[in-house]
A = this chain, B = another copy of it.
Amino acid sequence: MAEPSTKKSRTHPPYELLYWPAIPGRGEFIRLAFEASGVSYKDVANETKDGIKAVLACKADDCIIDSDGNPPAFAPPALRVPGEGKHGKTLVLYQTPTILCYLGDRLGLAGEDEVEKHWILSHALTALDLNNETHDTHHPIASIQYYEDQKPEALKRSKDFRENRLPKFFGYFERVLKGNEGQGQGKHLVGGKLSFADTTLWQVLDGLKYAFPNELGAIEKEYPLLFGTFYLSVKEEKGIKEYLASAKRLPYSNGVFRHYPELDRPGK
């Protein structure tokens, strides 16, 4: 895929995202950061023939250290940045929060000062905790087993998730938006401009709306800033809006966010 020849893309290194193809998954948090900032990147497994081999290689069980001196990844996503590693070699980073932290500074998504930067990381981590808890609604016993083999437990965990966890997380973010309303106008968690905390939380909310449509439909109105302002506003941000309308935005399927009607609030 040809990279847009904007000034921004020319002044950045050739970032490469290593993540599973065909699903949004945790890779989506990284994609949204790039898309929101208009900086080009290569989504290796989706854009390159045999690109999945690079994803498998970075997390291979026999990888001890790569040829550029990087430790292996525990799991994708990973980010490759030619020229930015030790001694000018290629840097490889893994763990979604680390990648967001690294890119946040470089893409202008990490706030106005160091205090904001730390708050942004904290809120992104909390959104990612919610992402992980969402995964466990359909896989409460073992991530390597099929959903169908842990369905009774998934029904129990999802009930608790809907009744206790979602209100706790949504209530928290509603308060953060309220506390920052003077600068953020309900559109930003920290300060007056878009950050990777915003894009990360937005992705989790969007996934939850897909996975639990009845539950979200029933309770969204209790969090007017979060769903009435923030969710709608991030969706319209320059870069994000165009990306969401494009074929690059992958549909939800069998990743973290799955729509199993039996795990959702019963319909009318």
Chain A residues engaging chain B, CB cutoff 8 angstroms: 61, 63-65, 70-72, 74, 84-86, 91, 93-95, 97-98, 101-102, 113, 115, 118-119, 121-123, 125-126, 129, 132, 136, 140-142, 144-145, 150, 153, 156-157, 160, 164, 169, 171-172, 175-176, 178-180, 189-190
Contacts and interface: CB of A to CB of B under 8 A. Distances in A.
Copies in the complex: 2
Contacts of A190: 71
Contacts of A176: 71-72
B175 A157 contact: no
A213 to B, nearest CB: 23
A93 B121 CA distance: 10
Secondary structure of the A contact surface, majority rule: helix
Contact of A72 (B74, B141, B179): B179
The 7 A-B residue pairs with the shortest CB-CB distance, nearest first, are A65-B179, A142-B160, A95-B122, A64-B179, A98-B122, A95-B125, A74-B126
Contacts of A91: 115, 118
A122 B140 contact: no
Contact of A160 (B70, B97, B144): B144
B157 A142 contact: yes
A157 B140 CA distance: 8
A121 to B, nearest CB: 5
Contacts of A94: 122
Contacts of A102: 118
A115 B85 CA distance: 6
Contact of A175 (B64, B140, B153): B64
